[in-house]
Amino acid sequence: MSSIRSLSAYSVLSSNGMPTVEVKITLQSGITAHAAAPKGQSCGKFEKTEHRDQDGLRVSEALRMCEFTVAPAFIGRDSADHLDLDKTLMSLAHDGKPLPSNVTLPVSIALAIAHSKEIGQDLSHYIGGISQHATIPIPCINMINGGIHGNNQSLLQEYLILPHGASSFSEAISWAVTICHNLKLNLKKKGLLAGVGDEGGFVLATDSVTAPFDILLESIHTSGLSDAHVSLGIDCAASGYYHKHMYVDYPGLPGEKQSAEVSTFLKNLAQTYPITYIEDPFSEEDLNAWASFDVEAHIIGDDLFATNAKRLNNVSHQAANGIMIKPNQVGTLSDTMQTIMQARLLGYNTVFAHRSADTEDTWISELAIGFQADMIKFGNIIRGERTAKYNALLRFFRIKNL
């Protein structure tokens, strides 16, 4: 195998117009690979590394870490030694502190891409040895942005559609395209369209927490589809409302509310609307609420688990039955893989996700394919940094004739 000839880093722009880090690795064979670091706006307390690159503005410092801390430890090492190199990454320090995820993750991903090229494979095959029976993930598509992503605290952070009845990935995306088109027309007719949010979902001029459900269902039906074809989902991002064991101004529940009141509210929503996906309904610290929540749906933990295998193992007895996979929450591909393996052992569904401030890089799509994701969540089907990821999956499944 080929050793690492050089490792360099430079600044590129993420989807919110802020700088982020991209790493380039060159092997002695001449193979090159690059990967960019995404960043989330909504970050949980238990994210292992995301908080270390606060506000994403210290990119110049991250670039220096790559040049003066990571590169000397990597140059000359065998590119096949991915696990050991990831361990090295997580052991390195700068000014006595562990390296932030906007350094470790793009290095780890670029290394995997370089090595997969070296052995004549794409990243998805290198990760999972993909066969003709690759799992087709259900897309969870963020059609309406609320909360901090849509600058509307009256609404939940995300209102999603899940085209679970589609016979292929391309059909699922085709349905989403039609629904998105009709949704935009309906919003304009009703005078509710107020722009586009951080993840490509539409921003609504309304303070009604249920209005997005009603207009999404209308748009689904206008598209000639039914609840049997397309269901709804929500990301509640509940940790942002949790203060001193109470929920303050939870969307749809003004004032201070106890966990039981939030649970009843969400159960009523799930009984009223065809909601099959609920993400972060409670704070990552409100474990009793998670344990007593018995809605029949995909209950997904994001802040609850923070893509951390130890955290997942410690609280897996809670009510969640799925885990969000965001590699920059743990910092390396190896740590991400460990979490996915733990999730499989526990029978959890895996949802591979972008971050709100992302780039046009598609490595998360390739990881979703390689690791046989049950679902994917890449934002709406508009804006280039989102469509690039959907297009990578469309190309793969078209080639595989799935």
Catalytically active residues, by annotation: 199, 326
Residue holding tokens 């799935």? 402
Specify whether the CB–CB gap between 285 and 306 falls below 8 A: no
Nearest Cα neighbor of 339 from 306, 374, 372, 303 is 306
Considering Cα of 270, then 319, then 349, then 384, what sign does the dihedral take? positive
At 264, list the tokens.
């009843």
Q: Which two tokens stand for residue 353?
A: 């996700």
Helices of type H across 191-258:
211-222
Instruction: Determine the Cα angle at 264 with ends 260 and 267, to 5°.
Output: 135
For β-strands 275-279 and 253-257, DSSP reports them as unpaired
Give the angle subtended at the CA of 235 by the CAs of 310 and 364, to the nearest 5°.
60
- C-alpha pair distances (Å), 107 with each of 24, 67, 81, 99, 156: 8, 11, 13, 11, 34
Burial-class residue 254 by CB neighbours within 10 Å (0-12, 13-18, 19+). Answer: exposed
286 close to 242: Cβ distance less than 8 angstroms: yes
231-235 and 158-162: which strand pairing? antiparallel
Distance CA 271, CA 292 (A): 17
What count of other Cβ atoms lies within 10 Å of the Cβ of residue 221? 14
Q: What is the rounded distance in angstroms from the CA atom of residue 242 to the CA atom of residue 233?
A: 21
118-146: buried (b, 16+ CB within 10 Å) or exposed (e) per residue? beeeebbbbbbebeeebebbbbbbbbbbb
